[in-house]
Amino acid sequence: MNFIEKLAQASRKNKSLLCVGLDTDTALVPDHLAIMEFNRAIIDATADLVCAYKPNIAFYEAMGLAGLDALKRTREYIPADIPVIIDAKRGDIGNTAKAYAKSLFEWYNFDATTASPYLGFDSLEPFIQYRDKGVIILCRTSNKGAADFQSLMVDNNGKKQLLYEVVAEKVNGWNVNGNLGLVVGATYPQELEIIRKKYPEMLLLIPGVGAQGGELELVVKYGADKKRERTIINSSRQIIFASKGKDYAKAARREALALRDKINEILDRTA
């Protein structure tokens, strides 16, 4: 089963567009816990509530080899029917892109990765060639600095577009294997609306609800696809660090449940 199918199945089974970001920042993990122990408890507490998990590799790299070992074991621990997206934002040329794809898709066995568009098609091709895997490309990110380049007005063969719109258009054209998606931040619901209207069936990964302040109501209304199987709404800190105490897993479940149900409530109301 490929990534897109696996995602659709998990979304349906768990009635969820919610992805939990396993951004296990050691500075925030309760002292007495190992990373792996923390992740295991979060996964146990939320696996029936999510359409996917998304660890950001940076937090694991910051811990050196021990962190990457914990990442690999975390990936192995996640139930087989839930897709795991590694948030790695890689972007490099030919041979090097091939090496990154080998690392993320073969060595770790992730189901999908995020990738950066700046180097163009040939930097993405080695990822795209893994037809069973997903490649989710940065389009409009959720941070303040996103506007520095992504919102520049561009002349795209005579059409005036913002850079992120050009990225969306090109990625859509490159999606011959059906395994591409776009990252569009929850903090810019208007941009989300533009992209979703133009590409109603495109896979969208939407980070930034919760700690980053994205407005859930607009995000769901503008961002979700009709079939509810090509939309991934990610929340990280708001869920996994919902409590700093011993009840962190219980608190994570409570937050995840509330957020999943709230998304579904908005979906049903605005459908």
Interface residues with its own copies (CB under 8 A)? 23, 25, 56, 58-59, 61-65, 68-69, 72, 87, 89-97, 99-100, 102-103, 107, 116-124, 138, 141-150, 152-156, 163, 166-167, 170
Helix, strand, coil fractions of the chain, as percent rounded to 5: 45, 20, 35
Nearer to its own copies, 8 or 136 (CB): 136
Nearer to its own copies, 32 or 118 (CB): 118
Nearer to its own copies, 10 or 192 (CB): 192
What is the CA 14 to chain-centroid distance, rounded? Answer: 17
Of 89, 98, 250, 262, the catalytic one is: 89
Minimum gap (Å) between residue 101 Cβ and its own copies: 9
Q: 89 an active-site residue?
A: yes
Orientation of helix 216-223 relative to helix 189-198, angle to 10°? 10
Minimum gap (Å) between residue 228 Cβ and its own copies: 27
Minimum gap (Å) between residue 165 Cβ and its own copies: 11
Distance, in Å, from the CA atom of 238 to the CA atom of 232, rounded to the nearest integer, reads 16
Shortest CA distance to 44 belongs to which of 257, 249, 254?
249
Nearer to its own copies, 200 or 213 (CB): 213
137: how many CB neighbours lie within 10 A of its CB? 25
Distance, in Å, from the CA atom of 227 to the CA atom of 189, rounded to the nearest integer, reads 20
**Residues with catalytic function:** 89
